[in-house]
Copies of this chain bind each other. A is one copy, B any other.
Amino acid sequence: MSPALSVDLFLYWLGIAAVAVNALTGVLDAQRKEMDLVGALLVGTATALGGGTVRDLLLDRNVFWVVDQTYLLTSFAAGALTFFIARRFNLPERLFLIPDAVGLALFTALGTQVALQWHAPWLVASLMGMTTGVVGGVLRDILCNDVPLIFRKGELYASAAWLGALTVIGLGQLGVTPMSAAWGGMAVTLLLRLLAMRYHITLPAFRSR
C-alpha cells in the first residue's frame, strides 16, 4: 500500500469513527428530550454530519456524505443501536460528555487534515478543523434546545479544538507524517477537554458586573 493511499484510508476510517461517535452523542441528547426514533436519528445525523458538511461547503468540495452513502448508513446504524440500548438501560446523564470529547477530537484532527490537503492557508485550516469539530455539537444542542456546550462557562471547548488543530498543523510543519500529526492533535484536544471538564479550567473572561 503506498503511503499516500494509506493516509487517505486512515482519514476515511477516522471519518467513519467520528460519524459513529457523534451520532451516539446526538441520540443520547435526544433521549433527554424524549424524542421518538426518527427525531433522535435526525438529531444524531445532524450531529454526525454537520461539521464536515460546513467544512466541505466552505472549501467547495463535494459534501462527503452525499457522494458516499456509507457515512449515512454508519450514522443511522450507530444512532439506532444507541437508541435501543439507551431505552433499555438508564444511562447516567453526564455519560455523553466523554464520547462528545472523543468526537470533538476526531473531527477536529480530520477537518484540519482535509483543509491542509486542500491547500488552505494555515490559519484558515485551523479554523476549519475547529469548525468540523464543534459544528455538529452546536447543531445538536440547538436542535435539543440546550445552551451549546461551546458557550458554557469554565469548559475549554472551542479552545481545546483549536489548539488540537494548531498541533496538527505545527507537527506537519515539523515534518511529522500526516497520520502521526493527526494522532498528536487528537491527543491534545481530548486531553485539554477532559482536564477542563475535571478541573474547570478557564480562560480570561470579561469581569462580572
- A121 near B: Cβ within 8 Å? yes
Q: Which residues of B contact A205 (CB under 8 A)?
A: 34-37
Q: How far is the CB of A120 from chain B (nearest CB, A)?
A: 6
Question: Which residue of chain B lies nearest to A33 when distances are taken between CB atoms in the complex?
Answer: B151
- A199 near B: Cβ within 8 Å? no
Sample (20) of A-B pairs whose CB atoms are under 8 Å apart: A30-B206, A34-B208, A36-B202, A36-B204, A36-B205, A37-B205, A38-B159, A38-B162, A39-B150, A39-B158, A45-B127, A53-B58, A60-B63, A65-B124, A66-B120, A66-B124, A69-B123, A72-B127, A73-B123, A87-B206
Protomer copies: 3
| A206-B31 in contact (CB<8A) | yes
Q: How far is the CB of A103 from chain B (nearest CB, A)?
A: 19
The CA-CA distance from A42 to B130 in the complex, in Å, is 11
The CA-CA distance from A204 to B123 in the complex, in Å, is 46
Residues of A134-168 at the interface with B, using a CB-CB cut-off of 8 Å, are 143, 145, 147, 150-151, 153, 158-159, 162
User: Known: A127-B72, A151-B143. Is A207-B35 also a contact (CB below 8 A)?
Assistant: no
